[in-house]
Amino acid sequence: MAFQNMSSRFFVFSALFASLRPIGFALFGLPLFAVLIAPFVAEAGVHYSGETFNDLPANWRGFLLDHRGLRMIGASPGSGIPTHVLRQQYLSLAEKLETQAKAKPLTADEAADLGALYVRLNRPAKAIDLLRPAAQAHPTHFRILSNLGTAWQLSGDLAAAERALREAVRVAPAAWKKMEEAQLKLVQSRQREGKNAAAGVDDLFGVAVSRETVKKLPADDVVTVQQLALWLPADGRLLWLLGELANAHGDVRTAASILDGVVGEFALASPEARLNRKQYREAADAVAKLSDAEHAKYRGDIAFKSARPLQREIDLTTLPEIRLDGTNEMPWPVLNETTIEKPFKPNFLKHLKQLDGKKVAITGYMQPLGMEFDVSGFMLLEYPVGCWFCETPEPAGIVFTDLGDGKTVTVRRNRVKVAGVLKLNSTDPEDFLYTITGAKVSDPD
């Protein structure tokens, strides 16, 4: 749905957003999620029949949304941190296949799927135990071999990962062969680096990535690295390479936002990464001061083929039970599933309808409605926006938060938790789809 169907107050403030640079926001979560992803080791490719990819390259914002979601599948919840809804879904899917395996042997495709689920869930030992005998029984099964390579790399055995991935390249279908070769090249490069693995940007193209060398890069450079990053969602260096590609293709604002996340969330200590982040941030701040018309010159030359890279349906059975007398967690994926038929007919998931009028809690980033920093209401977004003019979120990805009773709160840069009563809007095209009333703002649990 286009923004012209949103509220009139939204229109007034969206004009301000076009020129407002929100106090240093990046497109990533901040230190809380650095804790969640700390145990990860870089993965190789993951081939699971339940993950369907749209054509790449995907729009940067949509890519980063799915990229973070995939990271959260493998992130074991810490003290006081609830299990991410996607992790719950993948745990449930793995349990179903495990139960099935007790009744009868899994087929090759089923073994590949369960191995991929173990990989996504950051359980490499279980994946190896399953996939190694499966590879012996099915030596030409592409997905088994590729997922086994992933599992070996998760376990830290890059030599075994290389052997499995060589076999995966050998039997890969034409549609995946080039990507598998890039993946193998990455593993080999990391082997050569040894203890210096965090030293610099990965050399996948045989040329330093910059605006001066962009014409020497392959035409599918962003496609290749986006796919690898979706397979390796906890790999900060691949994300760094994507930031460098964004800058090389003329989008310094995205480059700055990505490197903000690489240095902040992934805690990449490379002096080069930190220097580039500083330079890109200064350039992005200068662009933010330009007029709306001038912004278009800095969108870059990448022709995106999709809004988001992953196609996925929510497994409603994995969602938390709704409580009548307590606060219910409201997952962003449930909100993102809302569709709108013309002229204005929102279709909410049944789970979301059942939350209507109940107390809910959700975490996200504050986006003020104007230039003030002490506000009585604001928009809550799953991820912050670096430039409203260029990164306009979908209406289904915005929750209007109303503190009520003349209360105000100072806009915060970091992620916040909002709790209050949910109100769904199914009749008024000039208002937000979701409003949380009587809202209280606090730090995330």
Render 2-67 in DSSP notation, one character per residue: -GGGS-HHHHHHHHHHTT---TT--SS--HHHHHHHTT---------TT-EEPSSSBPHHHHHHHH
Residue 24 pLDDT greater than 50, yes or no: no
Residue 203 pLDDT greater than 50, yes or no: yes
**Dist. CA 147–CA 116, nearest whole Å:** 6
Whether 24 is in a domain gets the answer: no
Pairing of strands 359-368, 377-381: antiparallel
| CATH code of the domain in which 414 resides | 2.40.50.870
Are residue 160 and residue 199 in the same domain, yes or no? yes
8 Å CB contact between 436 and 409: no
Count of residues for the chain? 445
> What is the domain extent for residue 79?
39-298
Are residue 97 and residue 242 in the same domain, yes or no? yes
Residue 342 pLDDT greater than 60, yes or no: yes
Whether 311 is in a domain gets the answer: no
- The pLDDT of residue 390 is 52
**Dist. CA 93–CA 91, nearest whole Å:** 5
pLDDT digits (tens, 9 = 90+) for 69-105: 888 898 877 645 556 777 888 999 999 999 999 999 9
Are residue 72 and residue 165 in the same domain, yes or no? yes
8 Å CB contact between 395 and 360: no
Closest to 418 (Cα-Cα) out of 356, 352, 363: 363
Residues forming beta bridges with residue 160, ordered by sequence position: none
Whether 15 is in a domain gets the answer: no
Q: Is 273 helix (H, G, I), strand (E, B) or coil?
A: helix
8 Å CB contact between 51 and 113: no
Tokens of 441: 């703002």
Are residue 137 and residue 210 in the same domain, yes or no? yes
8 Å CB contact between 256 and 386: yes
Are residue 372 and residue 407 in the same domain, yes or no? yes
Residue 43 pLDDT greater than 70, yes or no: no
**Dist. CA 66–CA 73, nearest whole Å:** 11
Tokens of 371: 């230039």
Whether 20 is in a domain gets the answer: no
- The pLDDT of residue 15 is 35
Out of 266, 298, 330, a domain closes at 298
8 Å CB contact between 117 and 90: yes
Tokens of 327: 């606060």
Are residue 256 and residue 215 in the same domain, yes or no? yes
Whether 331 is in a domain gets the answer: yes
Are residue 400 and residue 430 in the same domain, yes or no? yes
Out of 298, 328, 347, a domain closes at 298
Give the residue-averaged pLDDT of 364-377.
88
pLDDT digits (tens, 9 = 90+) for 263-316: 888 888 889 999 999 999 999 889 878 876 777 778 889 999 998 898 766 666
User: pTM score, two decimals?
Assistant: 0.71
Are residue 188 and residue 282 in the same domain, yes or no? yes
- CB burial of residue 25 (10 Å; 0-12, 13-18, 19+): buried
Q: What is the DSSP string of 131-157?
A: HHHHHHH-TT-HHHHHHHHHHHHHHT-
Give the residue-averaged pLDDT of 149-172.
93
Query: Is residue 190 very low, low, confident or very high in pLDDT (cuts 50, 70, 90)?
Result: confident
Are residue 271 and residue 411 in the same domain, yes or no? no
Whether 420 is in a domain gets the answer: yes
| CATH code of the domain in which 254 resides | 1.25.40.10
pLDDT digits (tens, 9 = 90+) for 207-225: 999 999 999 999 999 999 9
Whether 266 is in a domain gets the answer: yes
Are residue 417 and residue 290 in the same domain, yes or no? no
8 Å CB contact between 367 and 25: no
- CB burial of residue 125 (10 Å; 0-12, 13-18, 19+): exposed
**Dist. CA 242–CA 222, nearest whole Å:** 7
Out of 298, 331, 347, a domain closes at 298
Are residue 268 and residue 327 in the same domain, yes or no? no
Residue 392 pLDDT greater than 70, yes or no: no
Q: Which residues contact 320 (CB under 8 A, 6 or more apart)?
A: 328, 329
Residue 260 pLDDT greater than 80, yes or no: yes
- Average pLDDT of the chain is 84
Give the residue-averaged pLDDT of 386-396.
66
Please give the tally of structural domains in the chain: 2
DSSP 290: S
Residues forming beta bridges with residue 421, ordered by sequence position: 359, 437
Amino acid sitting at position 439: A
Are residue 350 and residue 262 in the same domain, yes or no? no
Whether 132 is in a domain gets the answer: yes
